[in-house]
Structure 1
Amino acid sequence: MTVTAETPLRPLQGPRTAWVEAQIPSLDKAEREEMLARIKQLLLQEDAALVAHYYVHEDLQRLAEETGGCVSDSLDMARFGKEHSASTLVVAGVRFMGETAKILSPEKRVLMPTLEAECSLDLGCPADEFAAFCDAHPDYTVVVYANTSAAVKARADYVVTSSIAVDLIEHLHRRGEKVLWAPDRHLGAYIRKKTGADMLLWDASCIVHDEFRTQALLDLKQQHPEAGILVHPESPASVIDLADAVGSTSQLIKAAASLPHPKFIVATDSGIFYKMRQAAPEKRFIEAPTGGHSATCRSCAHCPWMAMNSLHNLLQTLESGANEIHVEESLRLGALKSTQRMLDFARAHQTPVLGCGDA
């Protein structure tokens, strides 16, 4: 029997992306070049590697590439940092990504441009409430998305990313295991539909992907009938049903390059366009609609917390050494155990987890 968590959906709004972006001072060309040169100097001076998520501003993605860092999904950012020789990792993304880097690299200093950058999925799954929910269902295998705190990861049996979630849940389902899934209800429902697994779903969602509107997407498709539709599985099921390709950020970038469409309507954070344009420079990319009837376009297809990362606060962090990530050791070891299980599964089943630089 498939059941759904009775936890209430948390109406997490977050700041408006437009407001966040308006707080970042503008730079002219000369100021930008001066700032970039100073950051590059400090990265060398501090023996630091910059690892950036696909959703941060393209200035930070480009800077990571130019300095030998990494642009990728959250867990591969952490894996890259673990394997890199740098003694300091600078993580441009949201807080759980910095924590994941520290979980895998406890001996390294992990800094972030800002510690105010949160994630609605992380915030929507408080560790104490989640632990109580797990305790109430002891016969379920606990699988959590990477978009969670170290404390939630420590309570889990497995951590997964969207690129490996279907494979892992299918594996557990074949073994007859029931799965308690957290935190994204849309991704959980997508996995359940793909695998047929008995899954108990925590009730939270991403404030960006939850905004995509089905009717507005259909209207946009009518305007661009030649466009393919790329959808991240954190989106509502009705949006997923319209997709030509569904997948993680890395998988969507590969789909943009491999599918024949000259245009794509993309239902994920628009920060991904930087890498999509690299992978398919001849193609056009259009944001999937977050507007429509009764919509507020609060994020307008770009995470407000990702938007908090900028060249300005990156420079301030490198100059001051502020915004260091710390994870209490007992939590780190618990989170490492569940994360390592995923990595071991991927290795044993020859399933690619992510792929820094694959795009």
Structure 2
Amino acid sequence: MKNEVDTMLADVAIPQVKIPAHPVPRVLPVEEQESLKERIKIMLREKDAALVAHYYTDSVLQDLAEETGGCVADSLEMARFGIEHPAQTLVVAGVRFMGETSKILNNEKRVLMPDLAATCSLDENCPIDLFSDYCDRYPDHTVVVYANTSAEVKARSHWVVTSGIALPVIQHLAAQGEKILWGPDRHLGRYVQEMTGVEMILWPGSCVVHEEFKAEALRTMRRLHPGAAVLVHPESPKEVVDQADVVGSTTAMIQAVLRMANKEFIVATDAGIFNKMRQLAPEKVLLCAPISGDGTTCEGCARCPWMEMNTLEKLAQVLETGSGEIHVEPELAARARVPIQRMLDFAKTLKKG
């Protein structure tokens, strides 16, 4: 049950994020694509490397990761995979904070990314200097940050959380009588507040992808598809979240498609997730929640412009040249690992319980 709480947004002017134009990928002939994939498979073996890809990357990269013994997952599972896999090189297809998190948890390993310029609006919304100065104004608050942040911001925090574990962590901290300063996604923070009744100071960041979902167009789409279940990521605006049948992380939405009896699903997150959903439930009909128009059609499916920077050609290039390496200073990695490990240990406790 939702609890009404007052939302206190941090009184800080966050930087404007320069959003790159959605790249128009070169369409590779089938023969060239297959040849490139074979070269990549050979290089992964020769260089003792494993490919880990996020659910939001191109389906070709997701499929290639699974075909080569890598993994396709959310950001935390991508990093955890690296801990358990013996490969000494991890190639992370995603955005920069994911590569950094992999390096933080696997500092002795080499971590490469197809494009180091692939960032995240939440990360960019939360520069360490502004965030650290603001935290200093509330020394009696426990700082909880979303995984979509830089290594420096993680190191400044007390806890790192994913969308899947945010609710129980905040409930746990509140039960201990701790005051919470939350960053950087205000929509996820507001959702956590409503679900737990815990007052928090919210950093005013947001995801440019989830911010685009349109509540009124979604209402129209629901009327046109009355049997469809609506799945919404909690980074979305309140008016969209309030229409959801399921609110949850990428993993939770994939599980919902598998377990729910509905034939159709309207999905409010990056359309890259459809690849895994279609693999696991090919009989289901997947519709992208509207980001434009009146809801009668999907005029433009939600896609992260930074995720789209990951391509087969760039992947081959970093394997051939060793470029695109993520560096996190060991001392910084050690400090950033503390709040991440705190979450991982808490997750284990939850699982045992």
TM-score range with shorter-chain normalisation? over 0.9
1:12 is aligned with what amino acid? V
1:169 is aligned with what amino acid? I
d(CA) in 2 for partners of 1:162, 1:91 = 20
Once the two structures are overlaid, the 10-residue window that deviates more, 90-99 or 217-226, is 217-226
Residue 174 of structure 2 corresponds to which residue in structure 1? Answer: 173
Q: How does 1:21-36 map to 2 (within 5 A)?
A: 22=24, 24-36=25-37
d(CA) in 2 for partners of 1:32, 1:40 = 12
* Shift of residue 299, structure 1, vs aligned partner: 7.8
* Shift of residue 109, structure 1, vs aligned partner: 0.5
Q: After superposition, what is the alpha-carbon deviation per residue over 1:107-133, rounded to whole angstroms, capped at 9, x for unaligned?
A: 111000010100000000000110001
* Shift of residue 279, structure 1, vs aligned partner: 2.0
Residue 286 of structure 2 corresponds to which residue in structure 1? Answer: 285
- 1:80 aligns to what SS in structure 2? helix
* Shift in alpha-carbon separation, 1:105–1:195, aligned structure 2, 3 A: same
Identity of aligned residues (%): 57
Residue 3 of structure 2 corresponds to which residue in structure 1? Answer: none
d(CA) in 1 for partners of 2:84, 2:300 = 34
d(CA) in 2 for partners of 1:112, 1:298 = 31
d(CA) in 2 for partners of 1:96, 1:286 = 28
Q: Is the 8 A contact 2:290 2:300 kept in 1?
A: no
* Shift of residue 351, structure 1, vs aligned partner: 7.5
Q: After superposition, what is the alpha-carbon deviation per residue over 1:156-187, rounded to whole angstroms, capped at 9, x for unaligned?
A: 00000000001100111111111100000000
Q: Is the 8 A contact 1:212 1:235 kept in 2?
A: yes
Residue 15 of structure 1 corresponds to which residue in structure 2? Answer: 20
Q: How does 1:1-359 map to 2 (within 5 A)?
A: 3-8=8-13, 10-17=15-22, 20=23, 22=24, 24-292=25-293, 300-350=301-351
* Shift of residue 4, structure 1, vs aligned partner: 2.2
Q: Is the 8 A contact 1:267 1:288 kept in 2?
A: yes
Q: Normalized against structure 2, the TM-score is what? A: 0.95
* Shift in alpha-carbon separation, 1:298–1:260, aligned structure 2, 3 A: closer
Q: After superposition, what is the alpha-carbon deviation per residue over 1:89-122, rounded to whole angstroms, capped at 9, x for unaligned?
A: 0000000000000000011110000101000000
- Number of residue equivalences: 345
RMSD: 1.6
Question: Would you identify which runs of 4 or more consecutive aligned residues in structure 1 move more than 6 Å?
Answer: none
Q: After superposition, what is the alpha-carbon deviation per residue over 1:219-246, rounded to whole angstroms, capped at 9, x for unaligned?
A: 1111111111000000001100000100
Q: Is the 8 A contact 1:87 1:109 kept in 2?
A: yes
Q: Normalized against structure 1, the TM-score is what? A: 0.93
* Shift in alpha-carbon separation, 1:27–1:257, aligned structure 2, 3 A: same
d(CA) in 2 for partners of 1:28, 1:151 = 42
Q: After superposition, what is the alpha-carbon deviation per residue over 1:43-99, rounded to whole angstroms, capped at 9, x for unaligned?
A: 000000000000000000000000000100101101101110001000000000000
d(CA) in 1 for partners of 2:81, 2:223 = 41
2:9 is aligned with what amino acid? T
Q: Is the 8 A contact 1:102 1:325 kept in 2?
A: yes
* Shift in alpha-carbon separation, 1:2–1:14, aligned structure 2, 3 A: closer
- 1:59 aligns to what SS in structure 2? helix
* Shift in alpha-carbon separation, 1:247–1:94, aligned structure 2, 3 A: same
* Shift of residue 35, structure 1, vs aligned partner: 0.5
d(CA) in 1 for partners of 2:214, 2:244 = 13
d(CA) in 2 for partners of 1:212, 1:332 = 35
- Listed as ranges, the gaps of 5+ residues in structure 2 are 1-5
